[in-house]
Amino acid sequence: MVKKIQQWLGLDDQDPYIKDYIEESNMRSAKYMCTFVIFVEAWMILRIVKMLLFGGEERTIEWIVVHFRLYIVLLAASVAMMWYALTYAKGRKRTHGVTLVWKVAYTAICTGFGMYVSYLDYIKGEQMMSFLTMILFVACLLVWRPFVSLILLTVSYGTFYYICDKAVPATIATNVNMFTTYVAMLMISIGNYRQRLSEALKDKGLEELSNRDDITNISNMRHFRKKARRMFESAAGSGRQLSLIYFDIINFKAYNERYGFSGGNTLLVKIAELLRDTFPGGEIARFSDDHFAVLTDEENPEDKVEKLQDKVCGIRGDVFLRLKAGIYRTDGMKADGSGVEDISILCDRARFAIKSIKEKADTSYCFYDEKLDEIQRRKHYIVSHIDEAVKKGYIKVYYQPIMDAETGCVCALEALARWADPDLGMLSPGEFIDTLEEFRLIHKLDACVIEQVLRDHTEAGENGHEAIPISVNLSRLDFELCDVAQMINDIVAKYNVPREYLEIEITESALSRNAQALDSAIESLKMAKYNLWLDDFGAGYSSFNVLKDYSFDVLKIDMKFLENFGKSDRLEPIIKSIIALCKELKMISLAEGVETQEEYEFLKENGCNRMQGYLISRPAPIEEINVMFGEGKLKAAK
């Protein structure tokens, strides 16, 4: 019973969300109220000025001075309140205490104005509209807790009635009217509060639903970012470091396949519980799929991550689960101190830290540091400048000769991409190729390389140089991102180059990952009479399946075989078998990575058709290749 009375009077503790909701409602009402009051008071002031200048209504100087001062005071108070409400609406929020002071001060000024003006009207037998209007504004448009409304209206009406009755005894009709309006205003004020409270509770419920992950019942990404920003704002200037930890469950897909979606959801709930237990004071969220995030002020979060890893490994023994974590430590402020950093950027940095250790089975976590920051910066640079590099010619093509083992002459050139950037210098192919594949932009590079290759080939013919077939590498993603066959045909047609001079290299890994997507493209290329090379043979796990399913003209033995040449007795028989297999399947065998005379003699003796490597020539620009042909260092096959 006591609790219900407290709730009815508004004496119960309110949730911060409810306080914010009602406070925002009051600031919106204050803007409308102040707009009306400013307009009316400005009009009243102009009316007095007109009266002084041109005459009109007969008013005493005393009346004019008193009312002019009152209008100025109320106008100034309304302008000030309007300014505060507008700055509040723009996000520059003050504390609840400051807002309450503004609200109470404006209410007192409006109520006092209404009392005094209506008192002057009452003693002259006129209506008390100013008092009723001001009370309607401050008690009914603004939302107060019921007990505050009761005190506000009782004190206001009691004071007004006392001073009026003392000056001119009130009639029974006046008493009845005063009491009736008092009760009506009180009911309206309380009703307004109950309505706003109901709206706030409903809105809070919807907000909580939209802020919660529907599987784990922890915060979702949207709510996490909002809470994280508040935590960073709270930590700003205190020197307190926070750690943003991004988690990824390794082998979650295999777990889902083994136990179904229901089992996968149960695992996600379990992970969420472990995170809550491990970081009790932190903000925890599930972002998507098997990705979680934690924001904590733990001094050594990596220790907690290690313990958490042990618990995750013990969940199910028949599926190997690992929890990788990327950690970014910061106080949340921008380097120039201009404000809080973008939470999305911080999450990206922590996620990038995970990517750097995803293939390291023995590493559970990684801190985002300056080294990773530099890698990330360069990645963003590559992605944002690839179009410019293609357009302005920063992408260069180097050529590495391929030698016919029987004649010792160059039978083909392999085209290799290089990026000569005016700002970063010569970029490593391993850097920009991997980045462009990661961001699914690799087709732009490969199209540019093919264009340059055919242009160089055309110019070589025009300058009297030997016409030599050139091989180009295609990424596995090219077959997903564009119509490869059509793209190649268009460029070949543009330069009118015979198709036997352009040879296409496709990596073994591309075939094992994109079999369906590649079938039609490979068939189109074969129908167009292009020679197809199988690149990096032996680097994957499905080499012989690839040979069974696809027909290639050249098989390129992966250079990793020759890296261990002479160190393993089992290596030479394997290479011999691959060469023999090529002969059986009527394919040309090509060994890459040939660096020593011993390797060269072994491959030639065992019937390898072609060789490529530093022993023959390093990759070089077309101008240098032409010079080597001119000087006789390289000879073109007839």
Q: Report residue 624's pLDDT band, with 50, 70 and 90 as the boundaries.
A: very high
Supply the pLDDT for residue 42: 92
For residue 359, count other CB atoms closer than 10 A to its CB: 7
Burial class (CB in 10 A: 0-12, 13-18, 19+), 316: middle
Mean pLDDT of 221-235: 80
Backbone angles phi, psi at 244, to 5 degrees: -95, 115
CA distance 45 to 67: 9
CA distance 348 to 342: 10
Supply the pLDDT for residue 503: 94
- Compute, in degrees rounded to 10, the torsion defined by CA atoms 383, 384, 385, 390: 70
For residue 330, count other CB atoms closer than 10 A to its CB: 16
Is the predicted pLDDT of residue 58 greater than 60, yes or no?
yes
Is the predicted pLDDT of residue 335 greater than 70, yes or no?
no
Supply the pLDDT for residue 512: 62
CA Rg value for the chain = 40
Question: Crossing angle of helices 172-211/146-167, nearest 10°?
Answer: 160
Q: Report residue 94's pLDDT band, with 50, 70 and 90 as the boundaries.
A: low
Residues forming a β-bridge with 153: none
Supply the pLDDT for residue 369: 85
Mean pLDDT of 105-123: 90
Supply the pLDDT for residue 140: 84
CA distance 491 to 497: 9
Which residue type sits at 342? D
E strand residue ranges, 162-320: 242-250, 283-288, 291-296
Supply the pLDDT for residue 340: 61
Q: Are 183 and 175 in contact (CB under 8 A)?
A: no
Q: Per-residue pLDDT tens for 519-550? A: 888 889 999 999 999 888 876 555 677 788 88
List, edge to edge, every strand of the sheet that includes 322-330. 283-288, 291-296, 242-250, 322-330, 365-367
Q: Which residue has the tokens 């959801």?
A: 265
Roughly how many angstroms between the first and final C-alpha of the chain, as a whole number?
Answer: 105
Q: Please state whether 529 falls in left (phi above 0), alpha (psi between -120 and 50) or beta.
A: left
Q: Are 529 and 489 in contact (CB under 8 A)?
A: no
Supply the pLDDT for residue 615: 92
Collapsed DSSP state (helix, strand, coil) of residue 455 = helix
Q: Are 286 and 268 in contact (CB under 8 A)?
A: yes
Collapsed DSSP state (helix, strand, coil) of residue 34 = helix
Mean pLDDT of 75-91: 88
> Which of 152-156, 158-162, 228-232 is least confident?
228-232
Q: Which residues of 271-281 are buried (b: 16+ CB within 10 A; e: fewer)?
A: bbebbeebbee
Between 411 and 568, where is the model more confident?
A: 411
Q: Per-residue pLDDT tens for 492-517? A: 999 999 999 999 998 877 766 656 66
SS3 content of the chain, % helix, strand, coil (to 5): 60, 15, 25
Is the predicted pLDDT of residue 445 greater than 90, yes or no?
yes
Diameter of the chain by CA atoms?
Answer: 128
- Compute, in degrees rounded to 10, the torsion defined by CA atoms 549, 556, 567, 544: 0
Percent of the chain whose pLDDT exceeds 70: 93
Task: Provide the H-helix boundaries in 463-588.
Answer: 478-481, 484-495, 508-513, 515-527, 543-549, 560-563, 571-584
Give this prediction's pTM: 0.63
Q: What is the mean pLDDT of the chain?
A: 86
Collapsed DSSP state (helix, strand, coil) of residue 472 = strand
Q: Are 328 and 244 in contact (CB under 8 A)?
A: yes
Q: Please state whether 293 falls in left (phi above 0), alpha (psi between -120 and 50) or beta.
A: beta
E strand residue ranges, 394-447: 395-404, 410-421, 425-427
Is the predicted pLDDT of residue 15 greater than 90, yes or no?
no
Between 137 and 538, where is the model more confident?
A: 137
Return the CATH class of domain 221-368.
alpha beta
> Which of 70-74, 206-210, 263-267, 430-434 is least confident?
206-210
Strands 554-557, 588-592: pairing kind: parallel
CA distance 138 to 152: 9
Tokens standing for residue 67 = 């009312």
Tokens standing for residue 388 = 């410019």
Backbone angles phi, psi at 421, to 5 degrees: -90, 135
Residue by residue, DSSP assigns 88-126 as HHTT----HHHHHHHHHHHHHHHHHHHHHHHHHHHTTT-
Q: Report residue 619's pLDDT band, with 50, 70 and 90 as the boundaries.
A: very high
Q: Which residue has the tokens 């890893």?
A: 309
CA distance 200 to 277: 31
CATH fold, domain 410-631, is: TIM Barrel (3.20.20)
Supply the pLDDT for residue 433: 93
Supply the pLDDT for residue 130: 87
CA distance 204 to 316: 38
- Compute, in degrees rounded to 10, the torsion defined by CA atoms 625, 631, 633, 635: 80
Supply the pLDDT for residue 237: 61
Mean pLDDT of 22-30: 88
Mean pLDDT of 273-278: 90
Domain residue ranges in the chain: 2-210, 221-368, 410-631
Is the predicted pLDDT of residue 332 greater than 90, yes or no?
no
Is the predicted pLDDT of residue 168 greater than 70, yes or no?
yes
Among 464, 468, 444, which residue's Cα sits nearest to residue 454? 468
Supply the pLDDT for residue 57: 67
Q: Report residue 551's pLDDT band, with 50, 70 and 90 as the boundaries.
A: confident
Strands 425-427, 410-421: pairing kind: antiparallel
Among 251, 240, 33, which residue's Cα sits nearest to residue 140? 33
Q: Report residue 628's pLDDT band, with 50, 70 and 90 as the boundaries.
A: very high
Residues 6+ apart with CB under 8 A from 507: 473, 475, 476, 535, 536, 539
CA distance 466 to 452: 17
Supply the pLDDT for residue 422: 93
CA distance 156 to 149: 10
